[in-house]
A and B are shown apart, each in its own frame.
Chain A
Amino acid sequence: MASFDPGRVEIAHWVINEIPRTFRRQEGTPPTLSEALSPYDVDVARFFERKISESFGRSRHEIQAISDRATPESVLARLRDERSIVDLSVELGRRLHDSQSGAMSGGLLVVTEGTHDGSPILAVLKLEKEEGARAATTEVEGKTTYSVQYMRDLFLTGRTRVFKVAVFALEGDGSLVGWVCDPQSKGTEVADFFLETFLECELTNDPKVATRQFHAEAEKFINDHIDDPEKKARYETAIIAELNRYDAEVRLRPFAEGNLDVEDRSAFVQAMRDAGVAPSFVKDVDLIRSRIRRMQYEFEAGVKVSYPADTPEGVVTVAGRGDGRTELQVVDELKNLHSRA
């Protein structure tokens, strides 16, 4: 499959399993695993499509099977029509329940199938059950009022949280390809329960390489597309801050939204996309650690000014001058002065 566009997904049917909340080393409630497909409802089908798209709009990572593991083999067998979706759903429900560790919030495991541009896909969603209230008009002593019914098992509300989504499809050569949202691993150091333990898959892109590519392309965008020196400085600072922040992921759209002026956001995202930077990737700064510690300005006359990325605000300021040149100002106590090669 050349590319995956969630707007082209059509969900056809699904099986829902309830996975209860569990606590480590405690005898929990067993999961409720469906023995048949849920009845089709067009609104529900569209709801699942939107939830998949919404999740991938936030974060999307290409994944691949870890060799010789059971879950990818089972998914592959279903996509090849070698087993039933209900069998697969029961297997996945049991696996998720049995492999959960620590205190896991309860939820619904939805195993759903459909097409992407006509090719078969299989999606696994973990949804949160919610509490809520429903109001309905009623009459009390002949007068109109509202009665409110408390509900503790809502899950198809517009704001239903999708914990995790994974979508699988067949590649042209018959192998398995997939996408997952919100992987929680930090680099390769900590395993992501949903991705690695449950789905037995791994990220296709090396986080170190993806992070280095983002850094290089984002700086290239600033140097090639932004003229205003003050803006250049602000954007560069934002990139360095993003890479130094203790977050597992970098997501291009939220990054653009949070750090760039509105007129530059689309151009930035498009430039990253054109350069092949993934829309979101797990961050690992191993290959660029030394480069994101300091900021450096290099001027035409050969002057270079370099300073730590965490220099307090106001010490270094950058501004554009009317004549098109850049003015960089350092205001601080002078510590020492020396010549260098």
Chain B
Amino acid sequence: MSVIADARARFVTERPAFVAIADQVAEAIKKRTRSEGIACSVGGRAKEVSSFVGKALRKNYADPWTQITDKVGVRVTLDDPSDLGRVVDLIKSDYEVVEYQDKTHTLWEADKIGYSGVHLQVVIRDGDDVRGECEIQVRSAAQNLWSEMSHRLLYKPGVEPDDDTKRALTRLAALIEIFDEEVSRRVKQMTAAPGYQIEELINLAESEFYKFSDKAYDRPLSRYVISEIGPTLPSEQAHQYTTQLRAFVAGNEDKLAGIFRRYTEVDTVVLLHQPESMIIFERIASDPFTLREVWERQLPVDELDQLQAIWGD
């Protein structure tokens, strides 16, 4: 058999293991970025057999099995482009990186359109055993779009891009850079605005609250209550509280469903029908003492007494 035929046969045999690695790495990065409060989408894939063979033939590799390094790939697409450095640091701390390329600002390379974003080649181990390698791409959504577009325009087999197409891609790349910078600037400005954290907490609570209730609520009241009980929350690690609240709701889903079912027609406990009830119940379950101490400064104690009685435990 030829070298390519050997490599193809081996790839067909081993591909299920590559699919498992891709899923595992993607899931691990998803969890890690979520716990760090980084908004992004993560996807993993094993290269298709046809794509593997096509690349080996196109590149005329002498050792395609070794030279094709993207047999397993994971892509991290960032909501905020300024999170790129944090994600790269996370990957570097979690994996053994054998190759690192930052092509964020390199448009043309060896007269070919460059890679956009950061590319890390990492080793995946199972204890001391090497299971394989994985190529992790970290990009902004705009870089992703540009990259896919440029590949579609440039990598048509047998078609060389003309100068106008190259020039158009250069202009688009500049736009992408401006777009990413503007997104980062706006995100920074919004998160620094007064009340942003409170609005984010309300949004978080609301997303959990509507799993159990369909009632419209009083948002100014939510702002008032959450601003008062804010000191009881781990504010310096707000993203971790997101994980904590979601885990609390998931772990008490049947109990919360029972409470909201029983109180559907009862409007005497005002805060129960507000999204902040999710946060209040979570605080009652995890640190009722601090909650009460803070609550008693400005909020009606009767209301907390009622919510505590409803929560029970």
Contacts and interface: CB of A to CB of B under 8 A. Distances in A.
Contact of A8 (B258, B286, B288, B293): B258
A7 B289 contact: no
A336 B292 CA distance: 50
Contact of B266 (A43, A51, A56, A57): A43
Contacts of B266: 42-43, 46
Report the interface size class on chain B: 20 to 34
A49 B255 contact: no
Given A256-B289, A257-B289, A10 B262 contact: yes
A5 interface: yes
A262 B289 contact: yes
Interface stretch (B116-124, B207-215, B304-312): B304-312
A262 B302 contact: no
A256 B290 CA distance: 12
B158 to A, nearest CB: 69
B172 interface: no
B265 A42 contact: yes
Given A46-B266, A49-B262, A262-B293, A7 B306 contact: no
A187 interface: no
A70 B297 CA distance: 50
B145 interface: no
A54 interface: yes
Nearest to A42: B265
Nearest to B292: A257
Contacts of A263: 290
Q: Is the interface of B mostly helix, strand, loop or mixed?
A: helix
Given A10-B262, A42-B265, A49-B262, A265 B289 contact: yes
B230 to A, nearest CB: 16
A50 interface: yes
Given A6-B313, A9-B312, A53-B310, A266 B262 contact: no
B253 interface: no
B263 interface: yes
Contact of B313 (A5, A42, A43, A46): A5
A19 B54 CA distance: 90
Nearest to B290: A262
Interface string A1-22: 0000111111000000000000
B50 to A, nearest CB: 55
A242 B310 CA distance: 29
A140 B292 CA distance: 44
Interface string B194-224: 0000000000000000000000000000000
Contact of B309 (A10, A43, A50, A257): A50
A158 interface: yes
A46 B262 contact: yes
Interface in B273-291: 286-290
Contacts of B286: 266
A42 B265 CA distance: 8
A56 B312 contact: yes
A5 B306 CA distance: 16
Contacts of A262: 289-290, 293
A43 B266 CA distance: 6
Contacts of B312: 5-9, 53, 56-57
A6 B306 CA distance: 13
B287 A266 contact: yes
A256 B265 CA distance: 36
Contacts of A7: 255, 259, 310-313
11 contacts: A7-B312, A8-B255, A8-B258, A10-B258, A42-B265, A46-B268, A49-B309, A49-B310, A54-B308, A266-B287, A266-B290
Interface of B: 255, 258-259, 262-263, 265-266, 268, 286-290, 292-293, 302, 305-306, 308-313
Given A50-B310, A256-B289, 8 more contacts: A6-B313, A8-B312, A46-B266, A46-B268, A54-B305, A54-B309, A57-B312, A263-B290
